[in-house]
Amino acid sequence: MNLTDLIVQIQPLDEDAMAAARARQDQLTKPQGSLGRLEELAIQIAGMTGQARPRLQHKVITVMAGDHGVAAEGVSAFPQEVTPQMVLNFLNGGAAINALARHVGARVVVVDMGVAADLPDLPGLVKKKIAFGTANMAHSPAMTRAQAEQAILAGAEVVEAEMARGLDVLGTGDMGIANTTPSAAIAAAFTGQDPASIVGRGTGLDDAGVQHKIDVVRRALARHQPDPADALDVLAKVGGFEIAGLTGAILATAAHRRPVVVDGFISTAAAMIAAGLAPAVRPYLIASHHSQEQGHAIMLDWLGLKPLLDLNLRLGEGTGAALAISLAEAACKVLDEMATFAEAAVAGKKAG
């Protein structure tokens, strides 16, 4: 499959399924609209899936990992060795995402998209390594255009494999030291905002570190001039392999008419690339939470998304997505399992 073939598979939401879901919502034993965004969410998921009463039984969170050449610029408070160490932690079930995935009954799929280390063949690790980290975007494009497309399609392949095991909803997660820097660059490229309004503290930079990071992003954008009308150009020049993999996973999930629950800052950068490549993907996106990372609100506004949660999260890994998957499942269960006024023999709202 090539990228064009993948993109053309993404269809509009099913209006008939949404109408049927809305009609059922209005007959459930509650005042109309009294469950607020849970009602809206269930109707949206009905449109995504084409099912008037969707059920999210098979929940998958993919954590895609990659390293970044720009880490050499000192834009992270943590060393690059943390990326492969955390991948092993995910595989051993010891990270925050593992705990939260267990809590919501989701399986975690860990993918090496471009970790700058040789990872052993371990159960649960999907190897899609494009290269040992990206190039340093402060000096050269992060990757070639061919690598960007290869990484997107590799991410799509991960979803294709998971569909065969059962996938009703996908949560996006990431791991990669310094990856808030390319994510900020992607956001600045698409929105036209100055990096100073987008770049945040990442893993815990001080004020001087944040200013340095802003300067690095500005330099990269000035040097490479990524074209916001060409999302693949933006990805290749200032992106990351895990961001590209998540882009592909988002596109493939939407192509299969399944909801995509987008995590925080890095996942939202991937969603921006996906939306740039395929505007039809936007209705399949559910923003899980408002990240504490500066600039996330600007990114969500650009995508037209309203986050479900605001918990001051800034970890990544898919942690916010896991929590929001629980809400998406709850919304669908309300729609499916509540009785209507007629079924419960409860008097409905009087006319007039």
pLDDT grade for 348, boundaries at 50, 70 and 90: confident
CA distance 71 to 114: 14
* 290 domain-assigned: yes
Query: In terms of DSSP H, where are the helices of 76-168?
Result: 82-91, 96-104, 145-165
Is residue 330 in a domain? no
Verify that 168 and 36 share a domain, yes or no.
no
- What does the mean pLDDT of the chain come to? 97
Give the mean pLDDT of 213-242: 98
Q: Are residues 93 and 234 in the same domain?
A: yes
Count the neighbouring beta carbons within 10 Å of the beta carbon of residue 69. Answer: 23
CATH number at residue 237: 3.40.50.10210
How much of the chain exceeds pLDDT 70, in percent?
99
Section 244-270 average pLDDT = 98
Average pLDDT value for residue range 115-137? 97
Query: Which tokens in the block code for residue 124?
Result: 């649960």
pLDDT of 255 reads 98
3-state secondary structure of 142: coil
pLDDT in tens, 31-42: 999 999 999 999
In what order do the strands lie in the sheet containing 169-175? 125-127, 106-114, 59-66, 169-175, 260-262, 285-287
23 and 74 together in one domain: no
Single-letter amino acid, residue 56: L
Same domain, 318 and 186: yes
Q: How many domains are contained in the chain?
A: 2
CA 222, 227, 233, 235 torsion: positive or negative?
positive
In this structure, the answer to whether residues 248 and 177 fall within a common structural domain is: yes
Indicate whether 29 and 115 sit together in one domain.
Answer: no
Task: State the catalytic residue, choosing from 162, 242, 317, 329.
Answer: 317
Whether 48 and 115 share a structural domain: no
Residue range 240-251: average pLDDT? 98
> Is the Cβ–Cβ distance between 313 and 282 less than 8 Å?
no
Q: For residue 342, give the amino acid letter.
A: A
CA distances from 301 to 227, 280, 307 (A): 20, 17, 10
Q: Are the C-beta atoms of residues 276 and 7 closer than 8 Å to each other?
A: no
What's the pLDDT at 349?
Answer: 74
Give the mean pLDDT of 188-204: 95
pLDDT bin (cut points 50, 70, 90) of residue 347 is confident
- Same domain membership, residue 340 and residue 313: no
Asked whether the predicted pLDDT for residue 352 surpasses 60, the reply is no
Place 351 in a pLDDT band, splitting at 50, 70 and 90: low
The dihedral built from the CA positions of residue 234, 236, 241 and 245, taken in this order, carries a sign that is: positive
Rounded distance, CA 63 to CA 259, Å? 17
Dump pLDDT digits (tens) for 289-324.
999 999 999 999 999 999 999 999 999 999 999 999
Mean pLDDT of 132-138: 98
**Residues 102 and 47 reside in one and the same domain:** no
Beta strands in the chain (DSSP E): 59-66, 106-114, 125-127, 169-175, 260-262, 285-287
Asked if the structure places residue 351 within a domain, the reply is no
Is there a single domain that holds both residue 26 and residue 79?
no
CA contacts within 13 A on the Cβ side of 218: 10
Task: Assign residue 25 the CATH number of its domain.
Answer: 1.10.1610.10
The yes-or-no answer on residue 317 being catalytic is: yes
Q: Residue 300 corresponds to which tokens in the numbers above? A: 């969500």
Looking at the fold, whether 76 and 26 belong to one and the same domain comes out as no
The verdict on pTM exceeding 0.95 is: yes
In which domain, by residue range, is 186 found?
59-325
Q: How far from chain centre, in Å, is Cα 31?
A: 33
Considering the domain boundaries, does residue 352 fall inside one? no
Backbone CA torsion sign across 43, 45, 47, 52: negative
308 domain residue, yes or no? yes
CA distance 106 to 83: 22
Q: What is the DSSP letter of 143?
A: S
Average pLDDT over residues 2-13: 97
pLDDT tens figures, 52-102? 999 999 999 999 999 999 999 999 999 999 999 999 999 999 999 999 999
Domain-located, residue 18: yes
82 vs 71: CA distance, rounded Å: 12
How high is the pLDDT of residue 94? 98
- In angstroms, the Cα distances linking 191 to 184, 241, 270 are 10, 21, 14
Using the predicted structure, report yes or no on whether residue 1 has a pLDDT greater than 60.
yes
Same domain, 45 and 77: no
Rg (CA), the chain: 20
